[in-house]
Amino acid sequence: MSYKFNHVHIKANDPEATANWYKQAFNFTIVSDTVRGFGDRFIRCQTEDGVVINISNERTGETLPAGNNDAHWGIEHFGIEVDDMAAEINRLEGLGAVLKEGPIDNGNGMLIAFIGCPQDVRIELMQLPS
Domain count for the chain: 2
Mean pLDDT across 6-35:
96
Whether residue 52 sits in one domain with residue 82: no
Q: Which of 20, 62, 18, 19 is nearest to 40 (CA)?
A: 62
Domain that holds residue 105: 78-127
Residue 64 in any domain: the answer is no
**How many other C-beta atoms can be found within 10 angstroms of the C-beta atom of residue 14?**
14
| Cβ 102 vs Cβ 112: under 8 Å | yes
Instruction: For residue 16, tell me if it sits in a domain.
Output: yes
Give the tens place of pLDDT for each residue, 57-101. 999 999 989 888 898 888 889 999 999 999 999 999 999 999 999
User: Would 22 be classed as within a structural domain?
Assistant: yes
Q: What is the pTM of this model?
A: 0.89
Q: Which amino acid is at 113?
A: A
Task: CATH number of the domain at 118, please.
Answer: 3.10.180.10
